[in-house]
Structure 1
Amino acid sequence: MKLILVDDEKIIVDGLKKMIGRYIPECEVVGVAYNGLEGFKLIQKRQPDIVITDIRMPQADGLDMIKMLKDADSQAKFILLSGYADFEYARRGMQLGVQFYINKPVEELELRDCVCQVMEVIRANRAKLQEVDDLKHEVHSRIQESALKDILEIGSESTDLVGELLKIAQIPAEGARFVCALLEFDGSVDGLKEFGLQPLYRHIDRFLGQYRGVYRFRYWGAQVAVVITHGGVIDYGELIRAIHRLKEAVFRELKMSMAVGIGTVQERAAGISQSFEEARYALNYKVIKGMDAVIPFLEIISLTGQHHTVPDEMIAKLESGLDNMDEEGCVGIIREIFQGMEADRGISPANLQLQCLNILLSSARKMSFQQLQQNDFLGRNILSLEGISRFRTLERLEEWMIQVIRGIITFKLEHNIPKKKDIIAEIKEYVSNHYNEPISLADLSARFFISPYYLSQLFKQKTGDTYMNFLTQIRISKAKELLEKTDLKVYEICRLVGYSDTQHFARLFEKLTGYRPSEYRKNPPSA
């Protein structure tokens, strides 16, 4: 710890320096002064932890010096050194918060004991401050993560809300560019929990440290989302290379294998959700690229844009057949799809594999990663390309695809998954009952065993609105009810309806109702 000595007698200063160097090696004397005014300037400059000062000195005595330093917000701890048994000095010292005194002539043991007591007080104070800082950091991280999850899920149309959420997350958006990546780790979710995320986060920060902001958080299952912001141009090629280096280091140092999907660079904050959707879509192609691949979205677009594609209506029919456990109907649809492939004489084995992958992903996208892992047959055939790559003829591949579809239906029957389950109705009911909890799309995905991407698309398709807008409407509706029927303060209502930031809540409330919460309470439109 840094220590400064202030005394107008040089012989005393020199003696104290020798004793401290000999008996208190934890302290370093970083400066000495011979009057109060000189001491004041030196202490402000060096910012020591401890000051040992005489009381009676020329120009400004020790107590005057301490008062000036306290007024200047000095955090040093003071030990008063005096040969005077004067109560007035002691009283003034206590008023200034001084707790420690040493009488002249100074003895080695008394000096050591007193300085050690002061050091213990300083360490205890630092520990408390660190605890408070850690708590603040944790709260900020949770608020930031929650805001970013909301941004990923609300869609690119909600420009104002994205800006609002970025302010809450304390992420500067002015002049920034944005890009998202989604990391998925090979192995069980429990393995990721056991290993812990902090070592992984440190690697992400290290390898992507050239960008202005890198925000990473657990998204869903064994997936970690990364949102990157930068004030200048983001070189896409360099980003891909940096993520390759990150992947290799994570495998080498943490023994964790991962696949990464990378979205495109967006020039507006509203494009963050689009970049994330692209990253999530690209990550689906780990099945064809490998479980440790880095997959840029632009690469997938160039790949899929050149090939025969299965019509959307055929995929929709297949999904409907799976919903109803209609094995015969599903087999008929597969045969019809393959007839279309056979008619395309130019289709290559690689293209054929890609189309089978698309069909499998569509067939299984309503099922969670955990569900697929529970079934050895499905996990082996849907989560790897091993099955597809064995077949080189349409006929054999068609029969294999039918076997996989039958396996999905068998799995659903064995696990009592009901026909035509109205998952959106269930989710809406759950959200209506738990609106006051921090429920993100990823949380709902884990609870209802459905992938976040499919849930997002299905919710919009079934309701005509995004999940985030639906949740916001419920929360604001409940807030209106509480404002009308209770005397609760606005900040209390804010927390009761699931928001942590009162200003954000007030702005959302005004946007949807046309009133500030306090105005609405005074004159509700329904009155």
Structure 2
Amino acid sequence: MSKVLIVDDEIYVCELVRRLIHWEELGLQPAGIAHSASEAARLIEQHQPEIIISDIKMPGGSGFDLIGLARALVPDCNFILISGHKNFQYAHDALKLSVKDYILKPISEEELNNTLQRLEGHLREQRSSQRLSQNLRKLEDCFIRDVAAGRPPASAAQAVEQYSLRLSGDVSAFWILHVDTGKKNLHRSSPYLLYQKLQGQCRALLAGVCGKVIVSIRSSGLVLLLNYSQGQADAVARAAGSLMTLALDTVSAFADSSAALAVGLPFGALSDSCASYESARLCVCARVLLGSGRVLYAKDYARLPADPALILTPALQQGLSGAAETLNSTLYHDLFQQGLSRACTGGQHPALPYLFCEQLLASLERTVRDHLDLPDADAFFARVRSYLGYAADLGELRQVLLQTADDVFQHNRELRSRRGKETIAAARQYVAAHFHEPIRLEDVAKEVFLSPSYFSTLFKKETSESFTDYVTSYRMEQARQLLRTTDTPVAEVGVSVGVPDGRYFSRLFTRTVGLKPSAYRRLYR
């Protein structure tokens, strides 16, 4: 249902137009009445009408002025102009501004409603076409998503059935246009608005070159599927350079920004579409080593090994996992640099540094889930993966990986320290409550939910003394207090502090305090 705004400086004309319109019959909805261009602009911004019926001559701005104001707010709004003057220049100006119709006063009810009926019919067709186009774009997005996930359609017939996708050309290829937003923007959101702008530009540039172009915004960048005939191959090849120039011009308005275009391997059968997409994705990854601002052709690197397992060997994996589990940042940094240096050596696919970091991030995520602690780990690593995708060179790639590891390690150091202090406090409370009884390290470790060996190590680390020495010191402190303040026999004092053997208590007290229990008592008598 379209909304209609009526604009005329004469109140009775506005009321007349409102009464003449067959609102229900035409399926129209009133959006209000305005008596000046400025008032109309406010209502246009508020209600976003599809149709505006306006007088031409009004104080404070003409109907032509209002067209400019309205289309700045609602670009697709449609105008019907009303005038009491048979002025050819008015009609000429209206045609230049793409006004849908021009009605002379006195207003005819039939003419007004016929005009609105034609316009509403056109708008319904337009909305239907837009919905169809949107649905087709969604299906195209689904096709690219499935190919990226390694699930291509088995045949052309299946592509038509599942995605309404018909590729009539002999050759297809995936291209990926990736925008690098620069170090200042590394931890900001995806350059989605830039991709939206480039999406339309890519379609316009390639429409006359290819039989079909699909453009979809994905996490890897702006993914393009080009379908063309063998006869169009040269024109498609030239279009890569034109598209690269267009992209660089578009992103040049943003400081430190650049772009790279990855041209994937061509394919004929849809079963080979995944290989084309992956070859383009590897070229996007390769820009980190080779540099942005250029076209990268998958055919130039197709024969080079691109397996990150060549770099992230089991030995290196074990070393990095061990460093992560023990929160050893220095060792982790050293091992990471060794792996990255190997990834950058010649004779390998230039995507390997990025792929190495991608695999290393996945390994760190597994270590966190299995051995460490991190709140909302899913969201954290999803965010880091997007940062990794924005990294434009080796320096930024290194920054993302090492900063992520350092953040994880620091969080866990603080957590372990806090938990360690809480554990020691709980152990001390246990000793204070049970010092007069036999106390075994195993019993206290069980109370604080730790293994005896880890509890013993943690206690020594946090207090600089062994648990056994702490228990002895605590008991002897209680014994000193009893000897100072009571007349309890020495042997009973030993029993009271958990050392029932009188001779052993005397030796232990003497070794700890430097005096025999009886001598210590005489000091306070």
Question: TM-score of the superposition, structure 2-length normalised?
Answer: 0.44
Question: TM-score of the superposition, structure 1-length normalised?
Answer: 0.44
Decide which structure has the larger Cα Rg and report it. 2
Of the two structures, which has the highest relative contact order with CA contacts closer than 8 Å and spacing of 6 or more? 1
